Structure 1
């Protein structure tokens, strides 16, 4: 029987991890959510949105073909590790095109096995079966649960520079779409970006528009919730350094600035663009 792609279960983003013993906690990996399907026709690997990327993941497909199963649908994340052993999203695209041997598939759920749909089984049972399927030392690995108290786990995850953690109800069934049975808790990072301008409208919060310091590309806006003294100092600098808008950018109520002002921004770790970002402080380029 030819198995079909299953829309993945997507975790809900929350501010802090849930308490209690009803949850298991895993590292949130910084990669591409993917699904391996193995059936009588061979192995296919799909993206989160259901695109067939088997040709891009040739080595992982070969590894999946060696799993001792007749058929399976495995949910997981494709990652690349950096020198510190952390998943590195920036290196992932390059590895897909030129360094296949650096790709890993971290498996965290099993939706189908040998003709049986497992989605109504409790998560804990699905993961127990999955762990038995994955041999050690291969490029398909099992996502181990993290032992201990949720707050302590998140503290360790944050200090280690990881993107965050995912908490999942032990007894949860697998249901496609966004679910509160799985929660993702992201760690924050503080980075420097070039200030493009400040957007201010009466009665609305002010936002700093930021760009990547290397590429100059717009990466998003950061809420200006700094102290009143910093906000006033920033607005004075912006007016003194007023300049034309970057090419192709049109934003109402924005005071654009000349290059040279660097903002320190707190933002969610592991995102391509700024999310949940706030401007902490700023300085002028030296």
Structure 2
């Protein structure tokens, strides 16, 4: 049984409030675990069935029907935190032999933070803390399941710890919140952004996108580092296109290329292993 998940609003910044609990934000992908009549099915937040991709989760049975909400994580043993690229390697695997190989080399953990149905009873109308109490009493079926920890009130202190460990961020949830299948201000996220300075090396002809580049280690050529699609206001775009006309060096079917003279600061989730910006958001030009 798929239940459309409750989604997060974005908080202005870290905060503390006794009406909220605060959880570490897990860097993986959302998962709804549904066990009905002894059959387990796993769904992404968009109702895509991913039962086959995670046999270490889908083969685990509770002694009763249950629907759980959480995140699929793939923990880097060196850093002790979830690695998003490893999660995507697991999610994108389709062939059975590849899935089984990755189950051994990149095992996942289902980090549970909510319980939506228990022994056939819909729990979504209960306050969050009552659902948390029921969740805490569950006996998890194997070592690939975990329950996300939380603290009450002290969101800023938790965020400081998250920053120190270079984790993704913090989720704030009102203690009295019921579970609704939409975006709600009762649940908010605070992302632990990193920042990078890049050069704009071109732009997309169709929908908006600035090509980003960074100097190579030798300081000569530019190395492509991704596409900036978000954050720029109409004023920023107008300023860029006014200046870039004099910097055009060529074009192809998709892009116009410019000299790397315009520098910008972006906020990012992190750098990927391939040296690309993950989820870059423009913040300002650097003059």
TM bin (shorter chain): 0.7 to 0.9
The one of 233, 243, 254 equivalent to 2:249 is: 243
- The runs of 5 or more residues in structure 2 that have no matched partner are 215-222, 234-238, 271-276
1: CA distance between counterparts of 2:74 and 2:199?
A: 28
In 1, are the aligned partners of 2:196 and 2:268 still within 8 Å (CA)? no
1: CA distance between counterparts of 2:12 and 2:159?
A: 11
In 1, are the aligned partners of 2:8 and 2:185 still within 8 Å (CA)? yes
2:163 maps to which residue? 158
Task: State the TM-score, normalizing by the size of structure 2.
Answer: 0.76
1: CA distance between counterparts of 2:119 and 2:142?
A: 24
User: How far did 1:242 drift?
Assistant: 3.0
- The 1:190/1:246 distance shift into structure 2, 3 A limit, reads farther
- The 1:138/1:47 distance shift into structure 2, 3 A limit, reads same
Q: Deviations over 1:91-116 (max 9, x none)?
A: 22223434224211110000000011
Q: Does 93-102 or 126-135 show the bigger shift?
A: 93-102
- Residue 79 in 1 paired to residue 111 in 2? no
User: How far did 1:146 drift?
Assistant: 3.4
The one of 84, 93, 96 equivalent to 2:88 is: 93
Partner of 1:155: helix, strand, or coil? helix
- Residue 70 in 1 paired to residue 64 in 2? yes
User: How far did 1:131 drift?
Assistant: 2.0
2: CA distance between counterparts of 1:30 and 1:70?
A: 29
RMSD of equivalent CA atoms: 3.2
- Superposed, which structure 2 residues align to 1:65-214 within 5 Å? 65=61, 67=62, 69-82=63-76, 83-96=78-91, 97=93, 98=98, 99-101=102-104, 102-135=107-140, 138-146=143-151, 149-197=154-202, 209-211=210-212
- The 1:216/1:247 distance shift into structure 2, 3 A limit, reads farther
1:228 maps to which residue? none
Q: Does 84-93 or 169-178 show the bigger shift?
A: 84-93
Q: How many residues align?
A: 254
- Residue 57 in 1 paired to residue 63 in 2? no
User: How far did 1:151 drift?
Assistant: 1.5
2:267 maps to which residue? 267
2: CA distance between counterparts of 1:78 and 1:262?
A: 39
2: CA distance between counterparts of 1:152 and 1:164?
A: 12
Q: Deviations over 1:213-259 (max 9, x none)?
A: 666542425549xxxxxx99xx98x6775322464137xxxxx413x
